[in-house]
Amino acid sequence: MSARTLSRILLLVQAAAALLIGWGLLRWTGAAPWQAASGGLGCVALARLLVNLNNFALAAYFGSPTPAAFRLGPRARLRLLAGEFRESMLTTSWRMPRALAQMRIHADGTQVPVLLLHGYGCNSGYWAHLVPLLDAARISHASVDLAPIGGDIDGYAAQVQRGVEQLCAATGAPQVAIVAHSMGGLVARAWMRAHGSARVARLITLGTPHHGTALARFGLGTNTVQMRCSGPGCGSDWLQALAAGESAAMRERITSIYTHHDNIVSPQTSSVLPGARNIAFGGIGHVGLGTNPRVLAEVLRELAELERLPT
């Protein structure tokens, strides 16, 4: 099952729950129709909020110490919670159900084309904020919808290879840059292990659990087992084998962007990859890394540094 189909099913389940609650309020409390509708929708939104808050609580419990420069006051923490809840709702309830993998070629573009890889349980709808910025900069790009949702991370390498080949063929470029969120960063590294790094000008990861995340133990699928972490700096056997197969030259092609307030990657310093360029942010959640203007500006700066090689 694709993430697009699953997100549509979950959206229908939430709508059914809201209707059922609204019907109960109409029948048993005598509420006005608008009150019943508001009550049904409010209950579903509250359930989603509680899930979001639970992720933050778990991430804090298993988290790494927050450096003094990134510590938040009460207002900033509320903005973080509200922003991450908003982006989670928009991504899963609006962008993902409508998204399809796509390719856009700018014939007059001079920069390295970009391949976009999403994270666990997501799809190309995650890139709704970055895609318009790439178009404005005349950067050709393509996205890949990784499937199945709970598959083996190594198994996604063939899909990435097809995406790279198609993007290179369409643009005439010998290399691509990869921008990957969360698990997508591990997928890109697994693809590089299988196919080499000659076609990669730069790999930019956003909130990728390079050393695993404690919250993966609550997920389903082979990929969540591969992403597990039992303590600070302690990744799964798969993650350790992945790291052991990488050279210093390969690591130099990677930029890891992460947030000290990640509510899915915990410990948050799991995103720090030795030998790579590591860029830290604060006050941003896991989903928010793909929509935050400061993060996206940094991604565009990284892409602007790349010099497109001749065909």
Same domain, 34 and 128: no
Q: Tell me what pLDDT residue 152 has.
A: 96
Full-model pTM: 0.94
Select from 98, 115, 140 the last residue of a domain: 98
232 domain-assigned: yes
Same domain, 229 and 161: yes
Same domain, 87 and 108: no
Backbone dihedral angles phi then psi of residue 177, each to the nearest 5 degrees:
-105, 145
Q: Tell me what pLDDT residue 35 has.
A: 85
Alpha-carbon distances, residue 231 vs 62, 141, 255 (angstroms): 8, 37, 23
Distance CA 192, CA 214 (A): 25
Domain count, the chain: 2
Q: Tell me what pLDDT residue 68 has.
A: 95
Same domain, 123 and 272: yes
Same domain, 189 and 257: yes
Q: Tell me what pLDDT residue 310 has.
A: 56
Same domain, 115 and 85: no
Q: Tell me what pLDDT residue 179 has.
A: 98
Distance CA 262, CA 205 (A): 14
- Is residue 7 within 8 Å of 153, Cβ to Cβ? no
- Is residue 219 within 8 Å of 195, Cβ to Cβ? no
Task: Give the count of beta carbons closer than 10 Å to the beta carbon of residue 131.
Answer: 18
Q: Tell me what pLDDT residue 232 has.
A: 47
Q: Tell me what pLDDT residue 50 has.
A: 96
Q: Tell me what pLDDT residue 234 has.
A: 66
Same domain, 204 and 59: no
311 domain-assigned: no
Domain limits for position 13: 3-98
Same domain, 76 and 112: no
Q: Tell me what pLDDT residue 212 has.
A: 95
117 domain-assigned: yes
Same domain, 84 and 216: no
- Per residue of the chain (311 residues), give pLDDT as tens: 778 888 889 989 999 998 999 888 877 887 788 888 888 899 999 999 999 999 999 999 999 999 999 999 999 999 999 999 999 999 999 999 999 999 999 988 889 999 999 999 999 999 999 999 999 999 999 999 999 999 999 999 999 999 999 999 999 999 999 999 999 999 999 999 999 999 999 999 999 999 999 999 998 999 999 999 855 456 788 999 999 989 999 999 999 999 999 999 999 999 999 999 999 999 999 999 999 999 999 999 999 988 665 55
